[in-house]
Amino acid sequence: MPDHRQIPKVIPGRYVRQVAKSWADGAPYRQELHSVDPIFQVTGIVIVRHLSHETAMDYSHFLDSLPHGPSFRFVDEIKALEPGVSGTGQYRILGDEDFLAGHFPGNPMMPGVILLEAIAQMGGIVAQSGEQKLENLRLTAVKMAKILGAAVPGETLDISARVEGRLGGLVQIAGEVHGPSGLLANAKIALSGDEV
């Protein structure tokens, strides 16, 4: 069993959400958390999962390649990545996301357009992890999108994306979102950016 002192230190911002996710999963390690995050306010002791330094360092910097701020990121953790080719990530719906208050009152569920945004974000991570980088990468088109199910607070979404092709500053992505009940959404996404 690893020493609890090897667990990465908690920092304010995006990582607090990851700590909350790990805590909700019932992980067996404890860590003091003395910061307060505006997205998920937590103080005191929380339970966190032990992450090897390799796992935390291998993928966490790819999340920073997204132009979105932490409050609009729909990929919490990257589970697998083949740079420039494909990747999978996860997003845990905590229930405190602002958009859930209105979608729908008393019966919150993840909006379908945000499932598509999660595919685009995972696709952006995959596209930017390869050798060919693009500046100002943005969602350009959504094709053949299907919303096949709903996700609710407490569920973890598995998001996958694969680069199907590149042409200059355009990247074609195929992606899917799965939840506990199966496939929730799939789409072809086009991203565009300026060649570096």
What separation, in Å, do the N-terminal and C-terminal C-alpha atoms of the chain show? 45
**Residues designated as active site:** 103
Amino acid at 64: D
Burial 136-159 (b: 16+ CB within 10 A, else e): ebebeeeeebeeebbbeeebbbbb
- In DSSP terms, 188 is beta-bridged to 143, 174
Reported pTM: 0.72
CB 129 within 8 A of CB 87: yes
Give residue 58's pLDDT: 59
**Cis preceding-peptide flag for 104 (omega within 30 of 0):** yes
Q: Which two tokens stand for residue 95?
A: 């229930």
CA distance 145 to 128: 23
Q: Which two tokens stand for residue 170?
A: 């355009």
Parse the chain into domains and list their residue ranges: 4-48, 67-195
State how far the alpha carbon of 36 is from the alpha carbons of 8, 39, 54, in Å: 17, 9, 26
Number of CB atoms found within 10 A of residue 29's CB = 17
CB 172 within 8 A of CB 164: yes
Give residue 153's pLDDT: 97
CA distance 60 to 139: 22
Amino acid at 97: E
Highest CATH level, class, for 67-195: alpha beta
- Environment class of residue 131 by beta-carbon count within 10 Å: exposed (0-12), middle (13-18) or buried (19+)? exposed
CA distance 178 to 122: 13
Give residue 64's pLDDT: 83
Encode the chain (196 residues) as per-residue pLDDT tens digits: 343 333 344 333 333 444 444 444 444 333 333 333 333 333 333 333 333 333 433 577 888 888 888 889 999 999 999 999 999 999 999 999 999 999 999 999 999 999 999 999 999 999 999 999 899 999 999 999 999 999 999 999 999 999 999 999 999 999 999 999 999 999 999 999 999 8
